[in-house]
Amino acid sequence: MKKAWQETLYAIWMGMAVPGLILAILVMFWEKDKPESNTEPETLTAPVSLSVLVLWPDGVVEQMDMDAYLTGVVLAEMPAFFESEALKAQAVAARTYARKASVTGGKHGDGSVCTDYTCCQAYQSPEEYLEKGGTRDDIQKVRSAVLDTTGYVLTYNGELIEAVYFSCSGGKTEDAVAVWGTDYPYLRSTDSPGEENAAHYSETKRFTSEAFQEALGVALAGEPAQWLGEVTYTAGDGVDTMEIGGVKYSGVELRAALGLRSTAFTITVQDNEIRIVTYGYGHRVGMSQYGADAMAAAGSDFRQILSHYYPGTVLEKCLQEGG
């Protein structure tokens, strides 16, 4: 009788435990094979349908998809090893530049942008980038930065801005009026820290007295140390005016004549040798590319970078042509 009772109790336990055990095993295997949920939101968005007219060096004007064009611009204008948020900021600035040319006619009158960086924006196709030693990972990184910002442009009072940019400021950007004579409320001097490791943060050029006079196209009397006169400076710490041999030159004029990297420079004379130390590279108006990278490395996103270098502007999205 006791044995029968034990067998009955065992059967009841097995009837309850075994199905639960089997269910637990099945759940364990299902959880193991179940795909993990994506907790990070998708960053890439569908490309906005915008186009751009590109003026190639051979004179041919071609219509291109905006995001495809911008991939080539960013590859040419900014090092791909820069932080992703800096690349995004560059993409927005370049898109704004191209859109403004399309709307206003641009420098060429037909709405096109050329590939000469001294005129419009540089461009390098992905194929050319690979031929010069670039990697496919670099291209994908740049393409992602472009697509992450697809359609976005900068405006001020509802109008597309002059989205100018340059390599390195040397620590402080410049007022547009000091360089081009035209004032823009969003192109004002601002600090640009963290550029000390930039490729062209500073440079020293040396001239003999003869080469210096030849560059200026003048004949100066006396010793070189006596040539240098009063200097005035801009809000961005660039040279506004400088007297040389009794003649007043603008910083912009001296930069062009002497082949300097920027208008932020000092001139000294040592042993009849003229030494010029420049800070920064480019016109120093708008966004500093190395400054943008420094901001991104410190944790700023592309919106914060653009707001810093183009204060008062609004980030808007063009959804289609004319929008």
Give the tens place of pLDDT for each residue, 187-242. 999 999 999 989 889 999 999 999 999 999 999 999 999 999 999 999 999 999 99
Strand partners, 241: 232, 250
pLDDT in tens, 261-282: 999 999 999 988 999 999 999 9
Distance separating alpha carbons of residues 198 and 98, to the nearest angstrom: 27
pLDDT in tens, 54-105: 999 999 999 999 999 999 999 999 999 999 999 999 999 999 999 999 999 9
Residue with tokens 């998809």: 65
Residue 2 confidence (pLDDT): 40
43 is a domain residue: no
Number of domains making up the chain: 2
> Which two tokens mark 13?
């336990």
**Domain coverage including residue 112:** 51-164+286-317
pTM to 2 decimal places: 0.83
Number of Cβ within 10 Å of residue 264's Cβ equals 26
Number of Cβ within 10 Å of residue 11's Cβ equals 10
Pairing of strands 165-166, 287-288: parallel
313 is a domain residue: yes
**Pair (250, 306) in one structural domain:** no
**Pair (275, 309) in one structural domain:** no
Residue 321 confidence (pLDDT): 64
- Helix, strand and coil in the chain, % to nearest 5: 40, 20, 40
User: Which residue did the predictor score with more confidence, 133 or 10?
Assistant: 133
**Pair (207, 306) in one structural domain:** no
Q: Which residues contact 117 (CB under 8 A, 6 or more apart)?
A: 76, 77
**Pair (267, 224) in one structural domain:** yes
Distance separating alpha carbons of residues 133 and 290, to the nearest angstrom: 22
Residue 20 confidence (pLDDT): 44
Pairing of strands 228-233, 202-207: unpaired
**Pair (131, 106) in one structural domain:** yes
**Pair (271, 297) in one structural domain:** no
Residue with tokens 């930065």: 145
pLDDT in tens, 3-48: 444 444 344 344 444 444 433 433 343 333 433 332 333 345 677 7
Distance separating alpha carbons of residues 123 and 114, to the nearest angstrom: 9
Distance separating alpha carbons of residues 179 and 238, to the nearest angstrom: 10
What are the start-end ranges of the E strands in 128-209?
152-156, 159-160, 165-166, 202-207
239 is a domain residue: yes
Distance separating alpha carbons of residues 88 and 263, to the nearest angstrom: 28
Residue 199 confidence (pLDDT): 85
Closest among 147, 189, 208 to 280, alpha carbons compared: 189
Categorize the per-residue pLDDT at 245 as very low, low, confident or very high, splitting at 50, 70 and 90. very high
118 is a domain residue: yes
**Pair (156, 61) in one structural domain:** yes
pLDDT in tens, 284-298: 999 999 999 999 999
**Pair (69, 150) in one structural domain:** yes
Q: Which residues contact 4 (CB under 8 A, 6 or more apart)?
A: none
Residue 45 confidence (pLDDT): 62
User: Which residue did the predictor score with more confidence, 2 or 50?
Assistant: 50
